[in-house]
Structure 1
């Protein structure tokens, strides 16, 4: 069989660049025997509901193809046609989903500038109070938070509880974009439900692809009173898989046991290793201390382009030379050390 890539090359652009975890591939292969009823009436999807009920307090589970689909589907089910979502300006639903919430979901996003990517009760109030009962403005119905955030920060248990309690006091439901929920839980050293169901999250977009799956996420209902029509909306939004057993088998491999924790914890540790290796390099300015698996830094002019001849990563703020480096479940210590050495060489060259 022809290999179309160099298996020894690792990128730091996104945890989506990583391949599929061997335990997940084995789970997919194991699910391939015989026939199973399609569209979710299979034994793997039933088992997934049991597992996520135990681990997350899930009342209902809806596997979907991708994170954007999970977010749009979740928010659609939580809002009337005139409803709006309060979120951070940096939220993935606002910056990196190509207006899918607006165009597919018909949802108005009410964004708030944040320093660290995290909402607070005070920031929620900037939209929650001024729009109430004004027929000329979209009506806030949901607060959406991201764990961990696009800026690499992690909400503490207390911070999520504060936002959720405040939102609920205003009659707003709480959605969590949990594409990197596992990284956050690993960083906080808490169970998954400690930062979801136990602190007032109503509906969760549960991640998998960024943590070693081939391609599977899930909409997880924690409070059924806050959502309606998910069974039908999933089909309308083209997120209903015929051979759902293979999606559920992947999610089972990740969450029925500790693979989610092992993989996310390793990615977090590699991010900290990279930070420690680079932070003392003259000319490099670190703009965060990694809380999960993201590292941000400002490089001297020209260094990023030279590094990208060998390593993939993205600019974050080109105006000031800030870049983002992501670590994944398969990032190795050797990968990190080689990248850090290259940063040191290229920085010294321009100096």
Structure 2
């Protein structure tokens, strides 16, 4: 299949990460996270998030989000999130079904929620007829590719902490935000008071596997039971852990994020002035949102796959990844110019 722009999890495994899998595939190793690869990967996470960090590997992003939310909220409680948040739009109801909790989607602007909309949703406290808001879940970067600034995060987290509300970061692409803001993982999470991060792997060059990064030690105490009960305890944990070890080694994570963002900027520049094309904004992560004439979509997707984000406006999402090449971008732009009116 030709390289396209459907998603950053359409790409293959980064060669350095693939090599780590081969190197871990030797003889026997203890199971369920008691191996040396898991120990080293956990140390890498501690180096980036702080010594109090506890890490639990799971198989996929939905599991990372659901198990994290199970640790944060009881079934009679609720999670505030954006109306375009992945946990609300793209988890097939898994948080509600598996965690038993309720999601409160709030009106977003360019994917972001604010203290003002949170305050409007913070109602009926103590009312036994109403699910009690207990968690704020922020997607960083958002589903629309925008990045919460440090100041925006500080304001929301301060609001939450004042009300004893816990904070979850859906960070399937958190590395992209860290790179864009030129901050450390710790500065964007631990130092601000974030409680749990769902940390992405598959969208960042891994074959499979995500990490639930618990920064609030009280929440980590019983998490091993939540993970097991959720059918997410990997027996051969080393094959997830070794990938994260390679991901952090020599700042590979930063190289991957930088490449993906650079190519997103290149794509933005290549298509923004084409007649008939409307681009949402300069990309802050590795997503470019482009509105196209409906007749173009089927033609373009024959060679360069992408998703239609909004079936009403025909706004489309183009994602770049660690292996996106300039020739892919120029080929797409050339095709657009060939079919324009």
* TM-score, normalised by the number of residues in structure 2: 0.97
Q: How does 1:140-219 map to 2 (within 5 A)?
A: 140-219=133-212
Give the Cα separation in 1 of the matches to 2:192 and 2:336. 41
Task: Tell me which moved more, 291-300 or 222-231.
Answer: 222-231
2:10 is equivalent to residue 17 of structure 1: yes
2:19 is equivalent to residue 26 of structure 1: yes
Q: Secondary structure, in 3 states, of the residue corresponding to 1:15? A: coil
Post-superposition, which runs of at least 4 consecutive aligned residues in structure 1 deviate over 6 A? none
Give the Cα separation in 2 of the matches to 1:197 and 1:65. 24
2:87 is equivalent to residue 112 of structure 1: no
Shift of 1:59: 2.1
Aligned length: 340
Q: Is the 8 A contact 2:75 2:99 kept in 1?
A: no
Partner of 1:305: 298
Task: Tell me which moved more, 279-288 or 206-215.
Answer: 279-288
Partner of 1:267: 260
Partner of 1:333: 326
Deviations 1:251-296 (A, max 9, x none): 1111233111100110011011000010111111112221100001
Shift of 1:311: 1.4
Q: Secondary structure, in 3 states, of the residue corresponding to 1:319? A: coil
Structure 1 residues without counterparts, runs of 5 or longer: 1-5
2:75 is equivalent to residue 81 of structure 1: yes
Give the Cα separation in 2 of the matches to 1:268 and 1:285. 19
* TM-score, normalised by the number of residues in structure 1: 0.95
Q: CA RMSD in A?
A: 1.1
Partner of 1:72: 66
Partner of 2:126: 133
Structure 2 residues without counterparts, runs of 5 or longer: none
Deviations 1:141-170 (A, max 9, x none): 110000110011001111111111110101
Q: How does 1:227-266 map to 2 (within 5 A)?
A: 228-266=221-259
Shift of 1:228: 5.0
Q: Is the 8 A contact 2:53 2:215 kept in 1?
A: yes
